[in-house]
């Protein structure tokens, strides 16, 4: 029985997850593929680090050694940053080697080009692990929602941020302590700025856009804000109104087929599917033209969930499910939808507007903090009044949000 030869780029949290997944599930892989999967080599950066690696696997710091492996079928790419990753992936594809990547910073930027190159060279490029850790969202869109036209996407897309917000709220931890724990658990990026300032979720949102809508919006049109300004007091104050702050990415196509959206902290009510998404979990809610709203939930980061995503991607790739470039043709022009009644309110703070999404009906104004208010059970006219009477609040757009299940709707505003 011949083997499927693979190599790993990177042996950090994700690389180790892939290695262990292959090791512990070798029998299962053999059963499905009819062949053994053999890790031939691992590319690392720092040769002085102590590692527990099967001595039959070659360890190298030179990517040329990887390219020179005879009959190498697949490369699992789990290193950091745009370069040298883009160069390595390009060279692998040009050599006819399939690639599976976890690197969203690289893939958000170069994904469209690399997918074309892969298609041109007759190889596949799997990228399930770039987005939402272990949740099979890319596969769901690529393989299971081919007829449905995706109209909108919302997601908690960064495990580290969600973990920090949950820990600050539940245990009153400081931001720094919660971040440190996320780093120790292997959730955070090498540079956690990407997690806490929203870049990581931003990249994932662009990858989802490419996959679901067949293209990306202009990057500068996508709002991007992290979680660093949120305090434990705010998180706990909101809780008493059955509201939670979640860092959410959202995208929708407007009537002119433009893609709009952003990543930012929003408040969700306890009837919202994202309310109970806690710690390292991620969630993605897709609205399809036939199926309606589908919400996927699961672990958004970490060694085993990400290892799982890459190995499942590998199986799909070997089984030939990804032989065609996943880019869809954008067809429909008539995607204008009736508003579900959700507004983005923007609040001016130090000459800058910050945005939170809030349901539109308002009634009683209850003070939460010095300059933080919640509005409960009101009407459209009251929102209009609020907007007119507070020059520092703007309603900038209506989102196709998940409707709240009951009639009591709440919003939060800074006044």
Ligand X SMILES: N[C@@H](CC=O)C(=O)O
Query: What is the rounded CA–CA span in Å between residue 342 and residue 324?
Result: 38
Give 84 or 273: the residue with its C-beta nearer to ligand NDP.
84
Place of tokens 């579900």: 340
What is the smallest separation between the CB atom of 285 and ligand X, expressed in angstroms? 17
Task: Tell me the two tokens of residue 331.
Answer: 């067809």
Q: Does 189 bind ligand X (CB under 6 A)?
A: yes
Of 158, 209, 316, 355, which one interacts with ligand X (CB under 6 A)? 158
Q: Give the tokens for residue 166.
A: 């949950």
Q: Which of 41, 72, 102, 150 binds ligand NDP (CB under 6 A)?
A: 102
- Applying CB under 6 A, does 187 fall inside the site for ligand NDP? yes
- Distance in angstroms (rounded) separating the CA atoms of residues 164 and 173: 8
Q: State the binding partner of 103 from ligand NDP, ligand X, none, CB within 5 to 8 A by kind.
A: ligand NDP
d(CA 31, CA 280): 32
Token couple for 27: 């029998």
Q: By CB under 6 A, tell whether 160 contacts ligand X.
A: yes
Q: How far is CA 37 from CA 34, 73, 160, in A?
A: 10, 10, 32
Neighbouring CB atoms inside 10 A of 183's CB total: 15
| Interacting span for ligand NDP (CB under 6 A) from 39-47, 206-214, 378-386, 398-406 | 39-47
By rule CB under 6 A, what string of x and - marks binding of each residue 188-207 to ligand NDP?
Answer: -xx-----------------
Quick one: 16 or 152, whose CB is closer to ligand NDP? Answer: 16
Please identify, using beta-carbon distances, which residue of 189 and 281 lies nearer to ligand NDP: 189
Supply the DSSP symbol for 203: H
- Residue numbers annotated as active site: 204
> Is residue 313 a contact point for ligand X (CB under 6 A)?
no
- 80 close to 86: Cβ distance less than 8 angstroms: no
Q: Please tell me whether residue 77 binds ligand X under the rule CB under 6 A.
A: no
Burial bucket for residue 408 (CB in 10 Å: 0-12, 13-18, 19+) = middle
Beta strand 222-224 with 125-126 is: unpaired
Q: Which residues bind ligand X (CB under 6 A)?
A: 133, 158-160, 187-189, 195, 200, 300-301
Q: Which residues bind ligand NDP (CB under 6 A)?
A: 10-15, 43-46, 49, 78-80, 84, 102-104, 129, 133, 186-187, 189-190, 301-302, 306
């Amino acid at each position: 029985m011949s083997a499927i030869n693979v190599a790993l780029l990177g042996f950090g949290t994700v690389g180790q997850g892939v290695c262990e997944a292959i090791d512990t599930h070798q029998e299962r892989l053999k059963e499905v593929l009819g062949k053994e999967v053999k890790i031939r080599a691992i590319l690392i950066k720092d040769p002085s680090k102590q590692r527990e690696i099967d001595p039959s696997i070659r360890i190298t710091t030179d990517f040329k050694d990887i390219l020179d492996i005879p009959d190498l079928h697949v490369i699992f790419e789990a290193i950091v940053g745009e370069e040298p990753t883009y160069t390595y992936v390009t060279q692998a594809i040009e050599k006819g080697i399939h690639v599976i990547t976890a690197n969203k910073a690289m893939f958000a930027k170069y994904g469209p080009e690399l997918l074309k190159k892969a298609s041109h060279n007759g190889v596949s490029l799997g990228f399930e692990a770039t987005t939402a850790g272990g949740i099979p969202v890319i596969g769901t869109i690529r393989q299971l929602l081919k007829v449905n036209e995706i109209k909108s996407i919302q997601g908690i897309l960064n495990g580290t941020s969600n973990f920090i917000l949950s820990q600050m709220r539940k245990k009153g931890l400081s931001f720094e302590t919660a971040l440190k724990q996320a780093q120790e658990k292997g959730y955070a990026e090498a540079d956690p700025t990407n997690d806490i300032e929203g870049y990581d979720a931003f990249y994932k949102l662009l990858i989802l856009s490419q996959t679901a809508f067949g293209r990306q919006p202009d990057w500068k049109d996508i709002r991007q804000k992290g979680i660093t300004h949120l305090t434990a007091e705010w998180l706990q104050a909101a809780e008493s109104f059955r509201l939670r702050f979640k860092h959410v990415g959202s995208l929708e196509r407007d009537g002119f087929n433009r893609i709009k959206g952003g990543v930012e902290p929003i408040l969700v009510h306890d009837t919202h599917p994202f309310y109970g998404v806690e710690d390292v979990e991620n969630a993605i809610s897709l609205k399809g033209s036939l199926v309606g709203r589908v919400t996927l939930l699961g672990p958004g980061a970490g060694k085993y969930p990400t290892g799982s995503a890459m190995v499942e991607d590998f199986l799909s790739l070997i089984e030939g499910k990804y032989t065609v470039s996943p880019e869809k043709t954008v067809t429909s022009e008539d995607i204008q939808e009736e508003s579900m009644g959700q507004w983005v309110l923007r609040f001016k703070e130090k000459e800058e507007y910050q945005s939170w999404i809030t349901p539109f009906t308002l009634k009683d104004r209850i003070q939460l903090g010095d300059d933080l208010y919640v509005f409960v059970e009101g009407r459209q006219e009251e929102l209009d009044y609020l907007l007119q009477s507070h020059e520092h609040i703007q309603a900038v757009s209506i989102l196709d949000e998940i409707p709240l299940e009951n009639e009591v709707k709440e919003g939060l505003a800074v006044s």
